[in-house]
Structure formats: structure tokens, C-alpha cells
Amino acid sequence: MNDEHDHDHDHEGHGQSASMASRVAALVAKLEARGILTGAELDAAAESFLTSTQRAMGPALVARAWVDGAFRARLLTDANGALDELGIDMTHWAKVKLRAVENTDRVHNVIVCTLCSCYPVALLGPSPSWYKSLAYRSRVVREPRAVLAEFGVELDPSIDLRVWDSTADLRYVVIPRRPEGTNGAGEAELAALVTRDALIGTAVCRV
Amino acid sequence: MTARFKAGDRVRTRAANPEGHTRLPRYLCDRRGTIETAHDVYPLPDERAKGVSLELCKKEMLYTVVFDGREVWGEQSAEPLSVSADLWDTYLHAEQPT
Amino acid sequence: MPSTHDVGGASGFGPIVREAGEPPFHHEWEARVFVLNRRLMQRGFYNLDEFRFAVERMPPEAYLNTTYYEKWFDAIERLLAEKGVMP
């Protein structure tokens, strides 16, 4: 399989997508005819999912951990309990257990799901296409440093790379390192430095 | 159900996967690792994938197991790393400490 | 049983392609498939492991040549047919 091939996946022609749209509509119409669910119900669910404010909470979680050592400790030992304190609900189709792993000056953590696409959706929203790509899933467990370099992350050789393959009912989130020069910054200001990729481990936070 | 392993125990993953759905990736088959965390009892996905109800489904301890990159990819592997996966009891054998 | 999905460590899938400012979904139907799947699982028509297994059972050529949400839709249709919900 070549690069072009994989590339095509995410940029399929308009015709293919139009035919998918009509197939999906046909299935929903059949489900509606049988009284199983309604299109309106699905639209409302999609709208509510896309407008959920909770997704901004990943960066807020990190900012709180950076300023509050006791919270950070709770987040690392009982992430769901710490999330409850911030009013974050990890329920997606079912409630899932979250585990936070912390980057330090000695360890850098990266998250993947090699078998499918497990991701902390309830916290971060739908995953980016690259996270679900065969290229990322196949490579990051074998050559994480090379993958991170492609993402523009150059780590000191002394830092250990830890890859977490999400194979079960746990979901992972990375607590990135707090950038230098942010002493005195407030939580909102700090949260603005935390990107989604930093929460997956494929970016570092910069001022 | 009591946990067969505790943090720090050495384990070896089973040599090959059976037919059907399972959650032990092939690249981690027949590899030695270390129990990092003994979590809790979870329904076995191999059975759940057959449509077995939550009530009737076999439940097993789930462990986070850490593997050294050299064990997984060979001594010549290009990058030092560790990789972990969350694995059910059925996927694991006890390994003598080295 | 195909193990096409089990790609950890495989070679040859090329560079990781990222899209700047990628939206949560590229098409409205993808969002629909996403919530449809969640709803069907919540209602107990099938569970998450059955869904994953349905995706994994796709023939290798199909698995490698379809987009993410095309795989999802294929799995949903197949599960509903197999369970007699939508023959």
C-alpha cells in the first residue's frame, strides 16, 4: 500500500461521499419506519455532541494540575475522581475509566490504539483523522521518536519514550509539561497553551 | 476474583491469538513484560464480541503490562522505548523472574 | 478471520498525513453515522466489542480501501442485518 492510497482515504471524491450520504439516509429512514429511532433524534444528538462545551475541559484539566499540586496528585491516581471535581463526565456510550499519564523531564508519554481507534472522546471530542490512520497506528509503537519528529517534537535523547496502546476499557490522556516562563500565569492563560495534540502526546506546550 | 498477578510480576503473553475477536495485538504476542497495574475485573471482550450478555460474560482481571522496546522489536531496534497495553488475564502466563 | 486491523509495528503505510484545522467531521453523514452507532449501542442492539469485531471482519481489501466512517457504516449495516433488526 502506498502513500497516495492512504491519503485518498480522507479526501475521497465528492461522488463517493454523496453516495454514502444517501446510503446513510436510507438506513435512517428504514430505522425510522420501524420505530427504532428518528432522524431528528440523531440530528439533535449530533448537534449536542458538536456543541458540547466539555471539550474545552482537557486544557482546563491540565492547567489546574499545573497550578494545584494536590489536584495533580489526585488526577494521576484517580482521574475520574479528579474529573468529577471539575464537573467533567467521561460517559460516551458508557462511562469509561480515564488514566492520566504525566510528562516529566525524564519521561514523554504518547497514546495510540493500534487495534482500532480508542480515544478519550468524552473529554477531547472526536479524534483527528491522523490518530485513526494506519500510518500512525502502525508506526508510533515502533518508532515514536521518528513520529514525534514529524510532528515537530524533538525530545532530548535522555528522555524515555512511553507508548500507551489503548487496548481495553481504559482511556488515556497525557498531562504535558508546563512550559518555562509561565510563573504567575492564571489557569485560563495556561489552558490556552494546551493543545489537543499535547493531550495525546504528539505535541509539547510552548509559550 | 483474586488477581493472579501484582505490580512488578513478570509475565509472558500467549504465543498466538485464537480465531475471533481479541484485544492482544499481534506485535505483543509471546513477549515478556512486567505488570504495571492490576486494575479490576472487566468483561472479556473475546466473549462480548460474540454477543454474550454482560451478566453471562466471563469477567477477568485487567492489567496494564509494560514491555521493553528491545523485547518487542529486537535488540537491534532503532529506538529505546517502552510500550504498554491493557491485557486480560487469559492473555498472560506467569514468567519466572530474571 | 482477517487481522488486517491489527497493524501495530507494520511497515509501509507511509507518512502520517495531518490536516490543519481539521473539522470534527468532514461530511454531515459522518456525524450521523457517529451518533447512530452510539444510539444503537445505548439501546442494546449490539455492544462495543461486537461493533469492533464487525469492523475487523471486513475483507482486507475493503478494510484498507474505505474511509473510517465508511467502515463504521458497513459494520452497522451488517450487524443490524445479522441480528435481524434490519434484514
CATH number of domain containing A67: 3.90.330.10
On whether residue B5 sits in a domain, the answer given is no
Inter-chain CB proximity B45 and C49 less than 8 Å: yes
Residue A91, CA distances (Å) to B54, B83, C48 in order? 18, 27, 14
Residue A22 domain-assigned (yes or no): yes
What is the pLDDT, as a whole number, of residue B96?
A: 80
- Give the Cβ contact number of residue B11 at 10 Å: 21
Q: What is the ipTM of this complex?
A: 0.96
Q: From residue A129, how far is each of A50, A137, A162, B25 by CA, in Å? A: 16, 11, 22, 21
Q: What is the pLDDT at residue A53?
A: 67
Query: Is residue B76 a part of any domain in this protein?
Result: yes
The pLDDT tens digits of the residues spanning B32-66 come to 999 999 999 999 999 999 999 999 999 999 999 99
Q: Enumerate residue ranges in chain C where pLDDT < 50.
A: none
- The answer to whether A200 and A110 are in contact (CB under 8 A) is yes
Regarding predicted confidence, which is higher, A11 or C27? Answer: C27
Residues in chain A, total:
207
Q: Please report the pLDDT score of residue C1 as a whole number.
A: 75
Q: Are residues A44 and A70 in the same domain?
A: no
Does A154 lie in the same domain as A136? yes
Q: What is the pLDDT of residues B60-96, one digit of tens each?
A: 999 999 999 999 999 888 788 999 999 999 999 999 8
Tally Cβ neighbours within 10 Å of residue B5: 17
Interface contact flag, A144 B81, Cβ < 8 Å: yes
Q: Is residue A129 part of a domain?
A: yes
- B85 near A CB under 8 A: yes
Which structural domain, as residue segments, surrounds residue A190?
A: 56-200
Same domain, A123 and A104: yes
Residue B79 lies in a domain: yes
Contacts with C, B 79-98, CB within 8 Å: none
Q: How many CA atoms lie within 13 A of A57 on its CB side?
A: 19
Are A61 and A153 found together in one domain? yes
Burial grade of B89 (CB within 10 A; 0-12, 13-18, 19 or more): buried
Number of domains comprising chain A: 2
Query: Is there a single domain that holds both residue A68 and residue A34?
Result: no
Spatial CA neighbour of C63 closest among C5, C16, C6, C7: C5
Give the C-alpha separation, A45 to C38, whole Å: 10
A47 → chain C, closest CA residue:
C31
Would you mind telling me the total number of residues written for chain C in this entry?
87
pLDDT interval class at A3 (50, 70, 90): very low
Domain hosting B85: range is 10-94
The reply to whether residue A162 touches residue B78, judged by beta carbons under 8 angstroms, is no
CB contact under 8 A, C48 and A94: yes
A117 is catalytic: yes
Answer yes or no: is B1 within a domain.
Answer: no
Q: Are A143 and A41 within one domain? A: no
The shortest CB-CB distance from A142 to any of B42, B73, B86 is to B73
Cell 466539555, located at residue: A54
Is residue A92 less than 8 Å (CB to CB) from chain B?
Answer: no
Q: What is the CA radius of gyration of chain A?
A: 19
Indicate the number of domains in chain B. Answer: 1
Contacts of A27 (CB under 8 A, 6+ apart): C36, C73, C76, C77, C80, C86
Instruction: Please name which of C16, B36, B82, C85 lies closest in space to residue A10, comparing C-alpha atoms.
Output: C16
The reply to whether A4 falls in a domain is no
Q: How far is CA A25 from CA C3, C31, C37, C41, in A?
A: 30, 12, 14, 19
Q: Where are the alpha helices (DSSP H) in chain A?
A: 3-9, 14-33, 39-50, 57-67, 69-77, 79-85, 121-124, 129-132, 134-139, 144-150, 187-191, 196-200
The CATH code of the domain that includes B87 is 2.30.30.50
pLDDT of residue A51: 85
Model's pTM, two decimal places?
Answer: 0.94
B-chain residue closest to A158, CA distance: B80
